[in-house]
Copies of this chain bind each other. A is one copy, B any other.
Amino acid sequence: MTASPPNGPSDTLMRFLSRTRLSDEDRRALRQAVKDVCSVARGAPIREQGSAPQYLSIMVDGVARALRVLSDGRQQILAIFVAGDAMDCQSVVASASYGLYAMTDAIIARIPRDALTGFMRERPAVAYALWSESARQMAILQEWLLSLGRQSSYARLAHLICELAVRFGDAGLGDGLSYPLPLTQTDISDALGISPVHVNRVLQELRHAGLVSISHGSVHLMDRDALYRTAGFSPGYLGVGGIFE
C-alpha cells in the first residue's frame, strides 16, 4: 500500500459525492478530511480482518471485497466495492469482523475516524450522506441474504451478474450491459456460497441459455430482461431515496 500526497486530483471523491446532495461547502469539508490517497495492488489487504478500522476508505478506482475468513479456511465475501463506494462505513460507529482486500489494482481515499466524529456534530448533511451509503449497503446485504436463502444457484448467479452490471455501470465500468469481471470463479463461489466447480457448470448453463456471454474476463448481458427475470432482479434497491435536503 503506497501513500501519496494528500492533495491528489481534486475530484478524487467525485464518484462518491455524485451520489450525495451535499452543498459545495460540505463537499469541500469532506475533501479536506481526506488524509491520504493510497494505491493498493491487486490482492493486497486494505485492512486485515481482526484489525480495528482507523479510516473510512472510499474507493476512488478499482474493485475490492469485504471478506470473512473462518478458522478452517472457508471464506465468505460479505460485500463488493466499486469506485464511489465507501468501505467500512459502519465502522464509523462500530467495529468490523471482516477484512478488506483489493480485487484489482485500486486507489482509495482515506479519512481518519476522528474527522468523522467531528462531522457528526458540525456537518449533519455529511453524516447523513455516510449513513445513507451505509443503508444502501445494508439493502444490498439483505438482497444477498434473500438470494442465499431462497434462490437456486442458477438464480443466485444471475442475480450477482445483474447487480454488478448496474453497479459497475454506475461506477463508469462498462455500459450497464457489458463490464469487466475481476472475480474468478472461485471468488464468485465465495460470494454465493456455492462450490467453485458448480459455479463453472451453472455459468455454462447461463451461457447456453443465451442469457450472458463471458470471455476474457468480460461479461456481456445477451438478454437483459430474461436475465433480470430469472434472477428476480430489479435495480431499485441500489439507489437510495433520501429524505434529507
Q: Which residues of A contact B (CB under 8 A)?
A: 68, 70-71, 74-76, 78, 90-98, 113, 117, 120-121, 124-125, 127-128, 131-132, 134-139, 141-146, 148-150, 190, 192-193, 232, 236-237, 240-244
Contacts and interface: CB of A to CB of B under 8 A. Distances in A.
7 contacts: A76-B145, A93-B240, A96-B139, A98-B142, A121-B124, A144-B145, A145-B145
A244 B120 contact: yes
A93 B132 contact: yes
A94 B139 contact: yes
Given A70-B232, A90-B139, A97-B237, 7 more contacts: A68-B142, A76-B145, A76-B150, A90-B138, A120-B125, A131-B131, A134-B135
Given A142-B97, A142-B141, A120 B128 contact: yes
Considering residues A131, A146, A149, which has the most beta carbons from chain B within 10 angstroms of its beta carbon?
A149
B141 A141 contact: yes
A53 to B, nearest CB: 10
B244 A150 contact: no
A143 B131 CA distance: 20
- Classify the secondary structure of A's interface with B: helix
A91 B142 CA distance: 13
A153 to B, nearest CB: 12
A145 B146 contact: no
A148 B131 CA distance: 26
Contact of A78 (B96, B145, B244): B145
A136 B237 contact: no
Nearest to A129: B93
Given A142-B78, A144-B145, A132 B241 contact: no
